[in-house]
Amino acid sequence: MDASRNPEYLRKTAEAVAEFKEAFKAFMELHTETKDAGFGRGLLPAAVAREGVSLEEMQTVTDRVARAAGRASAAPGLTRMYIGIASFPEPLDPITAWKTVITPKPLLEPCDVLDAAEQILGRLEAMTDKAEAELPPTTGVEAMHPTIWGAARKLWVDGHFRLAVQSAAESLTSQLKTRTGLANMDATNIYEKVFASKNPMLAWPGDPSDRTVSSMQNGLAKYAPGVNMTVRNTATHVACRDNRPAGSGTARRLEPPCALDRRVRRPHLTCTQQQHRPPDLQEARGPVTAQERGQRLSGRSGGSSPASPSPYAQLHERGELERVSLMG
């Protein structure tokens, strides 16, 4: 942003110029002007130190003016306030050149510095007024609809800005559901249905065949759902994420590899094996006990070498081994 159009910056610059002016006046109180001496004007310094002024006091006042001149150095450029000197090739900055009043052949006299400071202050005031008049309009909370600010006020004042936005959006959606009777519909779908381009439940006033009315209705059909998704949904999703207990996200990500195997794979595998096991084997062998399964997996049966298993038994054992490895 252009500094010359920033009211706050212009006010601070004016404060710096006023501080410079007061510091320069204090500096001149320790000096005597030579303009009334009747001779040497233009050759002698425009001001000389008064008798009895200590070096420490003079240095303190001089430093104050120098610092103030530095803070106000941007003012002449902003206001285009310069002084033309016949013997000097370029216009002179009255704030930067303030110290020439105490040098031989001074470029400026004390009155030149003070008059220029006053003009700069006047120009800065005018520029500030103009910059404020050209600022874009702002909307305060008092201009908000009661539905919005009423739902957001307490949270906003307490510093919970995202929750305030969420609360305001939820309040608006709730009122829309009440007025349309679509209480069980998703928020985004409500906005799409209520402000639809064709057969809207809430229509822009005017003749639908009018191009302006039609444009407004088509715009609302896109704008209303879009605002709901970009404002209400994002505020709600972040709020839910922030309010989730610590570690809950990790627990959900770690659960499937173990829990899903227990709850889904084991019943599925067991059911599949029972359905495809030959009936004669089921009847002849009967149910397999845990002890027999352990002996079969370990390759031992009562201390004696097991008989060669049938092809189906081999497949069955490999299936058992696979299932065990999956289940842990």
Q: 203 and 105: one domain?
A: no
Q: What is the pLDDT of residue 136?
A: 80
Task: Give 8-22 pLDDT, tens digit per residue.
Answer: 999 999 999 999 999
Q: Are residues 198 and 232 in the same domain?
A: yes
pLDDT at site 131: 92
Distances (CA, A) of 90 to 82, 87, 108, 219, 259: 9, 9, 14, 58, 85
Condensed to tens digits (0 to 9), the pLDDT of residues 3-54 reads 788 999 999 999 999 999 999 999 999 999 988 766 667 788 999 999 999 9
Residue 251: what residue type? A
Q: Tell me, yes or no, whether 122 and 12 share the same domain.
A: yes
Buried b (16+ CB within 10 A) or exposed e, 34-54: beeeeeeeeebbbbeeeeeee
Dist. CA 268–CA 261, nearest whole Å:
10
In 3D, which of 162, 191, 158 has the Cα closest to residue 174? 191
Q: Within this chain, do residues 128 and 7 fall inside the same structural domain, yes or no? A: yes
pLDDT in the model for residue 202: 86
How sure is the predictor about 69, in pLDDT bands with cuts at 50, 70 and 90? very high
pLDDT-derived band at 102, boundaries 50, 70, 90: very high
Say if residue 128 is in the same domain as residue 217.
Answer: no
The total number of structural domains that make up the chain: 3
Residue 288 forms part of a structural domain: no
Ramachandran angles phi, psi of 33, nearest 5°: -75, 145
Closest CA to 187 of 170, 167, 166: 170
Same domain, 7 and 130: yes
Q: Are 5 and 131 in contact (CB under 8 A)?
A: yes
| 305 within a domain of the structure (yes/no) | no
46 close to 35: Cβ distance less than 8 angstroms: yes
CB 71 within 8 A of CB 20: yes
Domain-terminating residue out of 243, 273, 298 = 243
What pLDDT was estimated at residue 279?
45
Provide the whole-model pTM: 0.50
Query: Does residue 49 sit in helix, strand or coil?
Result: strand
Q: Among 59-63, 132-136, 137-141, 205-209, whose mean pLDDT is lowest?
A: 137-141
Q: Amino acid letter at 150?
A: G
Residue 101 has pLDDT above 60, yes or no: yes
pLDDT at 292: 58
Question: Could you identify the residue written with the tokens 């004016």?
Answer: 14
Structure tokens at 325: 């490895």
Convert the pLDDT of each residue in 166-190 to its tens digit: 898 889 888 888 888 888 888 888 8
User: Are 196 and 99 found together in one domain?
Assistant: no
pLDDT at 257 over 70: no
How far is the C-alpha of 99 from the C-alpha of 109, rounded, in Å?
A: 10
